């Protein structure tokens, strides 16, 4: 793992390239994390790839409700040679949840960005096929957000199928 000093060195390198890139650095439980501006995410990941972090292990979505900006995306990078990990974080607000997609450079992010769009409503600009992945495609709302209620959703059975909005009614079949 890059230690606290190593993290600051990486942050300084990124700041030298563009002063506004790094928002914050945290070192928690022996794990280094960089918080960066959303627009700079591709540059930051590219820079870290040059330093050996060439494997994108995971992308997580989070909701920091009630803190603002609410939505967060975490990129877990892995250096397979040095066995090093670093987290790159970014935060966006719910009214403008746009983040540049990293899928063109990191194909593994394809499913994971779709999942975060599906669950949190983060829009990844430049994603080749940004659509819902786990929830039904005509689903409304982003269920993993912290203010999304649990329960209260009617279950689709054959007997109530014609009365379910968004599913049956748009087609030519008349509700019975």
- Which residue lies nearer to another protein by CB, 17 or 148? 148
Report the alpha-carbon distance of residue 56 to residue 79 in Å, rounded.
9
Asked whether 134 and 110 are in contact (CB, 8 A), the reply is no
Alpha helices per DSSP H over the chain: 4-17, 41-50, 109-120
Candidates 5-13, 16-24, 42-50, 135-143 — which segment interacts with another protein by CB under 8 A? Answer: 135-143
Q: Tokens in use for 123?
A: 């829009």
Among 11, 32, 44, 56, binds another protein (CB under 8 A): 56
On whether the CB atoms of residues 126 and 99 are closer than 8 A, the answer is no
Contact of 83 with 72, CB cutoff 8 Å: no
Tokens representing 120? Answer: 């949190």
- Which of 6, 8, 13, 33 is in the footprint of another protein by CB under 8 A? 33
Q: x-or-dash pattern for another protein, window 86-115, by CB under 8 A?
A: -x------------------xxxxxxx--x
Q: Does 25 bind another protein (CB under 8 A)?
A: no
Does 62 help bind another protein (rule: CB under 8 A)?
Answer: yes
Q: Give the separation between CA 90 and CA 98, rounded to whole angstroms.
A: 11
Q: Which residues bind another protein (CB under 8 A)?
A: 28-29, 31, 33, 54-58, 60-63, 74, 76, 80, 83, 85, 87, 106-112, 115, 119, 123, 129-138, 140, 143-144, 146, 148, 150, 166-167, 170-171
């Amino acid at each position: 793992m890059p230690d606290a000093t190593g993290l600051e060195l990486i942050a300084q390198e990124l700041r030298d390239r563009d002063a506004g890139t790094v928002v914050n650095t945290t070192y928690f439980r022996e794990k280094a994390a960089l918080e960066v501006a959303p627009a700079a995410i591709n540059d930051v990941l590219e820079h870290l790839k040059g330093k050996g972090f060439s494997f994108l292990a995971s992308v997580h979505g989070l909701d920091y409700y009630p803190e603002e900006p609410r939505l967060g995306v975490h990129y877990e990078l892995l250096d397979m040679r040095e066995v090093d990990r670093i987290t790159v974080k970014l935060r966006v607000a719910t009214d403008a949840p746009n983040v540049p997609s990293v899928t063109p450079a990191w194909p593994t992010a394809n499913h994971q960005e779709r999942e975060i769009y599906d669950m949190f409503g983060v829009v990844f600009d430049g994603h080749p096929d940004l659509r819902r992945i786990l929830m039904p495609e005509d689903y409304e709302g982003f269920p993993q957000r912290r203010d999304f209620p649990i329960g209260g959703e009617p279950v689709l059975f054959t007997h109530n199928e014609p009365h379910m909005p968004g599913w049956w009614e748009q087609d030519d079949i008349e509700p019975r």
